Chain A
Amino acid sequence: MPRRDDINKILLIGSGPIIIGQACEFDYSGAQACKVLREDGFEVVLVNSNPATIMTDPEFADRTYVEPVTPEFVEKVIIAERPDALLPTLGGQTGLNVAVALAESGVLEKYGVELIGATLDVIKKGEDRKLFAEAMERIGLDTPASGYAYSIADAEGLVAEIGYPTVIRPSFTMGGAGGGIAYNVEELREIVASGLALSPVGEVLIEESIIGWKEYEMEVMRDRNDNAVIVCSIENFDAMGVHTGDSITVAPAQTLTDREYQIMRDASLAIMREIGVETGGSNVQFGVNPRDGRLVIIEMNPRVSRSSALASKATGFPIAKFAAKLAVGYTLDEIPNDITRMTPACFEPSIDYTVVKVPRWAFEKFPGTDTTLTTRMKSVGEAMAIGRTFKEALSKAMRSLENGRGGLGADGKDEFDEDHFDQMLAVPNEQRPFYIAEAFRRGCDAEEIHSLTHVDPWFLDQVREMIDAEKAVAATGLVQMSAEDMRAAKRMGLSDIQIAHLTGSTEAEVRALRLNLGVKATFKSVDTCAAEFAASTPYYYKTYEDEDEVAPSSRPKAMILGAGPNRIGQGIEFDYCCVHAAYALSDMGFETIMVNCNPETVSTDYDTSDRLYFEPLTFEDVMDIVEAEKPDGVLVTFGGQTPLKLANALEQAGVPILGTKPEAIDLAEDRRRFSDLLDRLGIAYPAAGTANTMDEAVEVASRIGYPLLVRPSYVLGGRGMVIAYSEEYMRRYVEKAAALSPDHPVLLDRFLEGAIEVDVDAVCDGETVYIGGVMEHIEEAGIHSGDSACCVPPFSLGVQTIGQIKDHARALAMALGVEGLMNVQFAVKDERVYVIEVNPRASRTVPYVSKATGVPLAKVAARVMGGQKLAEMGLPDENRDLGRFCVKEAVMPFGRFPGTDSTLGPEMKSTGEVMGVAADFPAAYAKSQLAIDYSLPGEGTAFVSVCERDKRSVVSIARHLNLLGFRIMSTKGTARLLRASGIPVEEVAKVHEGRPNIVDAIKNGEVQLVINTPFGRETRSDGYHIRTAAVQHGVTNITTLAAAQAVVQAIEAMKAGRLGVIALQDFGGTL
């Protein structure tokens, strides 16, 4: 059945900001869908609040709305655009939930919008666990024993039948949010309470535990003719009990006989048919009892998911693209296989390699939170690796994580908790793979390790073989290694770093010897068909085999190093820049070569660049590709810190670096040299010093004065950075930080309290500088720029100040010798402009600024690196009136990490961002808030309690809130102050003043807005409880006065009905 001609305009809903459980895989799937639908002549209307996505680039859709992904705003878009159909299956759980809400409220019917891809009935059957369980029963498939609870008492009643441990799964939450495993009644009550609160329908599933079982996933596609295929099977390394997103996963399944595999396949297809998925992709999860093979269905998602992105990258079969084609009427046999071109998409990929995905966590960012891995997803990103064998792939994946490891241990960085060694094996945790490896090193046998970990014996045996290889290498020694020994070690996945560590040599020595011995990496293609047919898409991975399939072309080649796995401080924004660099260089006639290991991204779509290498971003792996491809230039400044840290080593190895030279990067990072430069340029900067010892630190601190910004040198995302208001606090911190990085000194800067922070993104071509955007932060200095909201153009800075900021940026770019992007952070205090830091590379804000201004900065920078001059590009006037305000707001993951303080500080904690666009700042700010919290309180009670410093300024905020109709509630000190100013206020007890107190009020739903500013970290006792309660109960929670001011204005704008929708295409610009 060919393309449907009865629909023309299709609305696509994106997944909004990057959050835990929903990352850039939905940009990958959405961007693919936009592309394929437009190629087919459909008009695409897109809604997504995330400006850092490729899909929201104006050329990807006909009408792009960077608006909150909420039923209210999507309805406004529907009214403005009147689409014929809504495709809800590519925007993750967020997109699906909004579509369901619009269908149920009758909006879709009212405006004649058809749900395509999945009908309401299908979505409900797939998502509603009760309906799903009934459907499974109808087709005779087993599910774990379970029941629904609507209260803690219900849950206890169910557990009386099911028994402990029991799994708790809240209905309609994503990534298992609010779920967990309870081993006792205390844990049951705690998890059920939070699950009920998080579930939009106040419902949790209490389920038989199948912890320790084998876990599998099938990616399925089905068309309207009932043709159905399995795209990929995935087997989890971690047994049941760990969320799939937090599990190491392997494709294809490794330990199933054909009989068992086909049972699972039959079940997957039966589920598709029973649930009624007719035009698209789904995934089905299974649990298998390793003792007798009993198979149970865990769940299915009737939409494109994180696993489908992984499956697409693992097989070369673009699920999202085909799902979009199926949704508009095509059948699988009508779609050609992209990679072979000659064969149809209606087949099941066969792969002749092994794929391993390893999650990336960021627990170090959330002290105090439980780091045990459970059914609730906690990872912030993932790396995927391809190898011929599991060993090769696992080793690569472990060195792809950007955590400084050279593989599965044996890299000189192994550290084990000897007191809890067995516990670290038995309880799933981030470090467990290293403990498994170490257990083998210490002579444990596989059976012992299996009984503790429940990891399948086959996987354990693979690790055992890796450890045997380590031992062989160590026993032989580097000098004695023959070519055969070296090849054997590489085929077991050992990295040069590991071999160096095992033989007491250096990575450089290992590489030199290896190449001398003639042991060279070979590259193989990912072709969907295990080489049965010729492939036309150059998508490669590295291995050590006989035959190399790469044939470098004679075109000029530019190689772009990607950003690696998403983590806090380095996310989709850098991938966006890499993708833009690829597009721009391709336009200039370069053959583009992408290197990256993050399966969620657009950069690792084989469509993005001319050639894709799915490889870790380590010196060894990158150099091997450089030697195979011999690029004319390598771009290291788009992928954030990951490629930047390789810049020096690559340059020393004779690799041509395009754009800003590593020397300029060093200059900007070397504080002494950089201060000298600022002095020379006559640019102010906060007083600063460096200390190697505690005494020095105390001395420097007293010279500069408190408050101080203290941090270890060379950090990204403000890792380990604090503001010290007292010597005592500073001493305590330095003790800890010094232990954290003994080789690096501690940096101390004067903290400009109350200063306005400003970011600038600019491009320099060595002759001129183009200021892409000036971003005024809403939160004051001291909050990490990645965590603070900001606005383009500045909403309160004077023209003179802005002029001075731009002049400084220009002077710095020229003085540093920047060729490409540069980000400068300024602080403005008492009309004086200070430079905080300069990063001569793409920054996190580049996509946001590009969208806000309509100038694609990353592309501009890539063109500069490719040899064009800014003057030739016809860029719009920097000082033009944009005619709109664009507010970027950060999205915090505190809800995922109970127990951690939600106060913002110099250490970045956010996972993603949204953008709000409007004609004025308050409306734009309101949209940015709505895009995150999904609601701004319009009425009710506002709890206002601020630290001494903020007392005076809070009065006007409270008055404003009162005028907007809010009741004000405060604790004693603030209440006295407000009353004195004539504002009616209800007094409430602090936590330590007895009960009922403010926390009770929040828990009882009596408070709709919390404004609570902490001072330093000392006064966190009360505030900590208040903020934590607010986070848990989803109450809007503001921790800075500046943000409070903005929120009040935003509420006013919202109540006045000033929040319309506007498409990016209506702005003009050259994006």
Chain B
Amino acid sequence: MTDKQRALLALEDGTLFWGTSCGAPGETTGEAVFNTSLCGYQEVFTDPSYAGQIVTMTMPHIGNYGVNAADMESRGVFAAGFVVRELSSMASNWRAEETLREFFERHAVVAIEGVDTRRLTRHIREQGAMRAVLSTEDLDPESLVAKAKASLGLVGRDLVTEVAVSERYVWGEEMPPECELPVDTGVLSATPRYRVVAYDSGVKYNILRRLSEQGCEVIVVPPTTSAAEAMELRPDGVFLANGPGDPSAVDYLYTTLRELLGKVPVFGICLGHQMLSLALGAETYKLKYGHRGGNQPVKNLVTGRVEITSQNHGFCVDFASVGPLIPELSGGLTLDPADLGAWVRAGVAPVVRSDRFGAVQLTHVNLNDMTVEGVRPLEIPAFSVQYHPEAAPGPHDARYLFGAFTRLMDGREDIFGEG
């Protein structure tokens, strides 16, 4: 233990966590969050949505099966840093190509091990996600706490431009620049049935794999692509990806989206869901400590089924802020549209009215805290979910949503296979 490099994680409220370095030397700043997935650390580390965050894994053993190229979810590591209880010094898996420590060193990721991650998690749970600094260089607590206090938080911050591609590419044909090869593209359709324009706001590769698998040719475009440029590509559908930061700061994207809505079917995931909601006129807010893990129960109010979902978000949509309830489309009930638990108990998907786009249905609700997990405008072809149907990591229960997107592009109403 003693010959290892010490490291210190300091939170803005002065709480300190000592440990040892298990990655590259250095110092990093970000919002301290936790993820409860039991496996899939590599997918977490390479998910661009974690940009600006120092991620704690609650699973105490991390790195056991090493790292491999096929499980990359993007071209690199975007999270600010990592906190683990114990990093495996070896990798045991037939697909392992290097150890996680080697990977961290190669990608210059600052990471700390030996931390009471449960204490950190409980602290975040009680006090909320907060700014933090992780350092192997400056081990002076006062100095680090001061740096944490001085650092930028996530609220109001657009991180999308930092993670998105700047050039358009076609998934499976050209690959994004700077990515590690070979990239696992998944099953590519020889004769794609749909052309999808995917706005990259930090898209995970597995979303692109899933879209391809559904017979989509996927053209990934930078987030600043205008509606006209997108429409020039003659897409059958537009996809809005996941991504980091505060959704309300990504105003250029949802403004573009407003132009697209009604002209082309739209599917959004995570940040994409927030973009759709913002475009519909909803407001977003920051959750106390977010949802990050692979075990979140979500009820599809349209089908009545519960999905175990993969999640990673710190911001959330306020459904009631879209507009007033339309009781006649909400099973005749006049429950409070802000009380999602009441609608779950009633087994009814409420519909509210958006000024711009008409009726909007609440399709999915998180059963843990009764927050919004999915919406669907009923008068234009679009829908979105807050969670990650592409999983990676996490359960595959929500894969049907990629099929729902193709149904939407086919012009069908029963996109969830309901009825």
Q: Which residues on A are within 8 Å of B, measured CB to CB?
A: 225-227, 229-230, 233, 252-262, 265-266, 290-293, 332-333, 342-344, 346-354, 388-390, 456-458, 461, 465, 484, 488, 524, 529-534, 545-547, 549
Contact = CB atoms under 8 A, between A and B. Distances in A.
Contact of B295 (A347, A352, A353): A347
Contact of B297 (A346, A456, A549): A346
B295 A348 contact: yes
Given A252-B39, A530-B34, A534-B125, 18 more contacts: A253-B38, A258-B43, A258-B71, A258-B392, A261-B40, A333-B299, A343-B367, A347-B297, A347-B367, A347-B368, A350-B294, A352-B118, A389-B85, A458-B90, A530-B118, A533-B125, A546-B17, A547-B118
Nearest to A450: B92
B85 A348 contact: no
A257 B293 contact: no
Nearest to B399: A266
29 contacts: A225-B306, A226-B305, A227-B305, A256-B39, A257-B42, A257-B95, A258-B294, A260-B93, A261-B39, A262-B391, A292-B94, A333-B367, A346-B306, A347-B295, A347-B308, A348-B295, A350-B59, A350-B293, A350-B295, A352-B85, A352-B118, A388-B85, A389-B85, A457-B90, A458-B65, A458-B88, A530-B58, A533-B368, A547-B118
A531 B126 CA distance: 10
B394 interface: yes
A255 B93 contact: yes
Interface string B139-182: 00000000000000000000000000000000000000000000
A227 B394 CA distance: 16
B222 interface: no
In the complex, the 5 A-B pairs of residues with the closest C-beta atoms, listed nearest first: A258-B40, A258-B393, A547-B119, A458-B92, A530-B58
Most buried by B among A233, A258, A348, A531: A258
B36 A488 contact: no
A266 B396 CA distance: 7
Contacts of A254: 61, 64
Nearest to B59: A352
A461 B71 contact: no
A437 to B, nearest CB: 18
B371 to A, nearest CB: 12
A332 B308 contact: no
A247 to B, nearest CB: 18
A633 B162 CA distance: 62
Contacts of A230: 308, 395
Interface residues of B, number: 55
A531 B88 contact: no
Contacts of A534: 125
A262 B396 CA distance: 7
Interface string B358-371: 00000000011100
Nearest to A251: B38
Contacts of B59: 252, 350-352, 530
Contact of B116 (A332, A348, A547): A547
B2 interface: yes
B86 interface: yes
B36 A530 contact: yes
B334 interface: no
A67 to B, nearest CB: 40
A461 B65 CA distance: 12
A254 to B, nearest CB: 5
Contacts of A332: 306
Most buried by B among A225, A233, A252, A532: A532
A388 B395 CA distance: 25
A265 B369 CA distance: 25
Interface in B108-154: 116-119, 121-122, 125
Contacts of B64: 254-255, 458
A229 B305 CA distance: 12
Interface in B269-321: 293-297, 299, 304-306, 308
Nearest to B67: A257
B14 interface: no
Contacts of A226: 305
A389 B86 contact: yes
Nearest to B307: A227
Contacts of A351: 38, 59
Contact of B306 (A227, A265, A390): A227
B391 A545 contact: no
Contacts of B395: 230, 262, 265, 348
A531 B367 contact: no
B88 A256 contact: no
Contacts of A255: 64-65, 92-93
B121 A352 contact: yes
B189 interface: no
A265 B396 contact: yes
A332 B295 CA distance: 14
B1 interface: yes
A471 to B, nearest CB: 13
B87 to A, nearest CB: 11
A229 B296 CA distance: 11
B294 A343 contact: no
A348 B70 CA distance: 26
Contact of A389 (B60, B94, B119, B391): B60
Contacts of A545: 116, 118-119
B119 A258 contact: no
B295 A258 contact: no
B185 interface: no
A230 B395 CA distance: 10
A530 B391 CA distance: 20
Contact of B118 (A344, A458, A531): A531
Contact of B37 (A227, A291, A350, A488): A350
A257 B71 contact: yes
B295 A349 contact: yes
B89 interface: yes
Contacts of B17: 546
A459 B206 CA distance: 30
A531 B58 contact: yes
A289 B90 CA distance: 19
Contact of B61 (A333, A389, A547): A389
B39 A253 contact: yes
A461 B367 contact: no
Interface in B25-77: 34, 36-40, 42-43, 58-61, 64-65, 68, 70-71
A254 B43 CA distance: 16
Contacts of B304: 225
Contacts of A256: 39, 65, 93
Contacts of A354: 60-61
Given A488-B1, A545-B116, A233 B38 contact: yes
B2 A484 contact: yes
Given A265-B395, A547-B118, A259 B71 contact: yes
A461 B293 contact: no
A534 B122 CA distance: 8
A261 B59 CA distance: 15
A579 B21 CA distance: 46
A465 B87 CA distance: 12
A229 B294 CA distance: 12
Nearest to A351: B38
A354 B85 CA distance: 12
A291 B94 contact: yes
A261 B394 CA distance: 9
A964 B216 CA distance: 82
A257 B93 contact: yes
A532 B86 contact: no
Interface string B370-395: 00000000000000000000011111
Contacts of A258: 37, 39-40, 42-43, 71, 294, 391-394
Interface string B391-407: 11111100000000000
Contacts of A265: 395-396
Contacts of A344: 297, 367-368
B119 to A, nearest CB: 4
